Amino acid sequence: MRHYLDHNATAPVRPEVIEAVAEAMALDGNSMSVHEEGRKARKLVEDAREAVRALVNAPVNGVVFTSGGTESLHYAVHGAMAPHKIERIFVSAIEHSAVLANAETTGAEIEIIPALPSGVVDIGWLQDRLAACDAARDGAFLVCVMYANNETGVIQPVREISDITHDAGGLYVCDAAQAVGKIPVNFVMSGADMMILTGHKFGGPLGVGALVAGPNLPLEPVMRGGGHEENRRAGTHNVPGIAGLGVAARLAEDSPARANEIAALRDRMQTAAEAAGAKIWGADAERLPGTLCLSASGFPGATQLMTMDLAGIAISAGSACSSGKTKPSHVLKAMGAGDEDSLCAIRVSVGWNSTDEDAEAFIREWPAAYERIKARAA
């Protein structure tokens, strides 16, 4: 029996979502066509848009469908450049690699916002740095700080970041891909100008997500063609994927009700790992309920992943987007970790369909594997 403990990489697709995608694939019609078949497809798109809007309390017409989180980040960063005359981008040291990669292609000057050992960004540094900014002298700026970290699960003070950014005259982009569908996320209350989400992190299909933008926020389209998405993102709608995202969004409204149960699974695994000698990252900060990041000295993350896989347990060695690489985690390095701790780190993540049996499998197998490693090194 397999035990899937890698929800932060991709959560299992909910059965209702699979059904919705299959039904949508059986329909004829392009969502931009005016005949009956086209109108049916368009209704699926707009119903899904309303479900996503309701899930995160987005403004009317504020949800722009994309192919996922990376495209949404690309659109947010590049789309804001010309309309807002952005000359400087502040990127937190714990951001997903897609944020910095896109920022580096804009031509804007980039500054890195440091993180504290807790895994929370250094609000004091940001406040002091932005207080020293002069828009007339330094130009307009963009601040990019995620809602919750994909490796540690640490939740960031997004409203405070938003207020600091706006007081200094900047725009705030919040990558909420790991938070949406797991904890309550309110776009309006967050104060963010743009927010990113993607379906496959909370039981939706792969390859579909959204950029949520504030009312009437000017953005330059980065994909041009037809008049899709009110001329904000060209390209024929992925109607089955969007329909599935809508169903996942509606189902996710009930996810916070199970947050305590999911956190209890995480905490049981954490207790067992700590007892075996692991170091827990982000334990002193507020975290996503299902995320556990740990380091085990002398037990490389890649080896842990393979060992657990052979035991029937799926985990990640850091971010899934970079887990095939051997370089240390930039997130843990930003928190003060040395190379040993960074290279010996894993991420265990549970979610909507995780069970006691899943947690017990980790509690049974991981400490025993670590004890074997330590015995060989003795």
Which residues in the chain are classed under CATH 3.40.640.10?
15-252
Which residue carries 């999911």 as its tokens? 262
- CATH 3.90.1150.10-classified regions of the chain: 3-12+257-377
pLDDT at 309: 98
Residue 37: predicted pLDDT? 86
Q: What is the CATH number that goes with domain 3-12+257-377?
A: 3.90.1150.10
Residue tagged active-site, from 133, 293, 321, 344? 321
CA 106 to CA 125: how far, in whole Å?
24
Dump pLDDT digits (tens) for 150-208: 999 999 999 999 999 999 999 999 999 999 999 999 999 999 999 999 999 999 999 99
State the pTM of this model: 0.94
Q: Cα 121 to chain center, whole Å?
A: 16
Instruction: Give the contacts of 149 (CB within 8 A, at least 6 positions apart).
Output: 94, 119, 156, 178, 282, 331
Overall average pLDDT of the 61-80 stretch:
95
How confident is the model at residue 15, as a pLDDT?
A: 98
86-141 confidence digits (pLDDT tens): 999 999 999 999 999 999 999 999 999 999 999 999 999 999 999 987 666 678 99
pLDDT of residue 229: 78
- Answer yes or no: is pLDDT of 323 > 50: no
Residue 321: active-site member: yes
What pLDDT is attached to residue 224?
80
Rg (CA), the chain: 21
> Mean pLDDT for the chain?
93
Per-residue model confidence (pLDDT) at position 327: 76
Q: Stretch 8-19: mean pLDDT, rounded?
A: 98
Order the strands of the 345-349 sheet from edge to edge: 279-281, 291-295, 345-349
- 15-252 topology per CATH: Aspartate Aminotransferase; domain 2 (3.40.640)
CA distances to 265, 307, 314, 365 from 281, rounded to whole Å, are 17, 21, 20, 20
pLDDT exceeding 70 applies to what percent of the chain?
Answer: 96
State yes or no: pLDDT of 145 exceeds 70: yes
pLDDT score at 135: 63
